């Protein structure tokens, strides 16, 4: 089931626009797109391990810029898009408590959740809805996204061949694990 998608992604990773495509996915995921950038980052770094840290930097910048858009969606569009999200996640009655919690622990929430499979767009939009300090939001977004993407780049640069061999040998397992992490992130938000 995953072989065709994996082969297609590897072919794209060797394309001359692969890094730009990865940046676009990273930007979009931080504001509105459901697929995490890791799905594109991993094959692009595997195909270009000599540029692993540059690729991680581009992914980080794109993710943070997308996060700024997500923040603006929550902050400026609270009455339209934000209200829809509040209803979607059943937060109507708890929005005041949510804003107080975010005011007290927002930096820690951004740092912790930016490393998890929880979609980053939910954190960026929530930061805007809570009207969390934009400066602190920006600093914590840079820290958490850089840590995540540079860690992936480091591991793939250092252990790229064994990692790629593991993925190829256990593609079905890896594919299901990625899907489970993605759905688990959405489920965690629904329970939170």
What pLDDT is attached to residue 160?
Answer: 79
pLDDT band at 94 (very low <50, low <70, confident <90, very high): low
pLDDT band at 28 (very low <50, low <70, confident <90, very high): very high
Burial of 4 from C-beta contacts in 10 A (0-12 / 13-18 / 19+): exposed
What pLDDT is attached to residue 135?
Answer: 96
| Total domains in the fold of the chain | 1
With beta carbons less than 8 A apart as the criterion, state whether 174 and 60 touch: no
What pLDDT is attached to residue 118?
Answer: 76
Task: For 99-117, write each residue's pLDDT tens digit.
Answer: 788 888 889 989 888 887 7
What pLDDT is attached to residue 80?
Answer: 75
Task: For 165-182, write each residue's pLDDT tens digit.
Answer: 776 666 666 666 666 765
What Cα–Cα distance (Å) separates residue 169 from each residue in 155, 162, 179? 18, 10, 18
Domain that holds residue 96: 3-191
Q: What is the pTM of this model?
A: 0.78
- Give me Rg for the CA atoms of the chain: 17
What pLDDT is attached to residue 153?
Answer: 93
- Average pLDDT of the chain is 81
What pLDDT is attached to residue 161?
Answer: 79
Choice between 34 and 53, residue whose per-residue pLDDT is larger: 53
């Amino acid at each position: 089931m995953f072989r065709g998608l994996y082969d297609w992604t590897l072919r794209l990773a060797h394309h001359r626009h692969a890094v730009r495509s990865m940046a676009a996915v990273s930007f979009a995921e931080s504001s509105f797109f459901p697929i995490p950038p890791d799905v594109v980052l991993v094959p692009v770094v595997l195909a270009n391990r000599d540029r692993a840290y540059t690729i991680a930097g581009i992914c980080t910048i794109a993710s943070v810029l997308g996060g700024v858009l997500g923040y603006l969606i929550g902050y400026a569009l609270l009455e339209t898009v934000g209200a829809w999200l509040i209803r979607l996640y059943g937060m109507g009655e708890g929005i005041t408590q949510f804003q107080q919690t975010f005011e007290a622990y927002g930096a820690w929430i951004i740092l912790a959740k930016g490393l998890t499979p929880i979609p980053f767009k939910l954190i960026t939009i929530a930061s805007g809805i809570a009207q969390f300090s934009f400066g602190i939001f920006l600093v914590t977004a840079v820290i958490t996204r850089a840590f995540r993407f540079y860690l992936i780049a480091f591991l793939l640069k250092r252990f790229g061949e064994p990692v790629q061999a593991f993925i190829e040998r256990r593609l079905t397992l890896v594919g299901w694990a990625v899907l489970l992490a993605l759905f688990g992130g959405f489920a965690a938000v629904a329970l939170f």
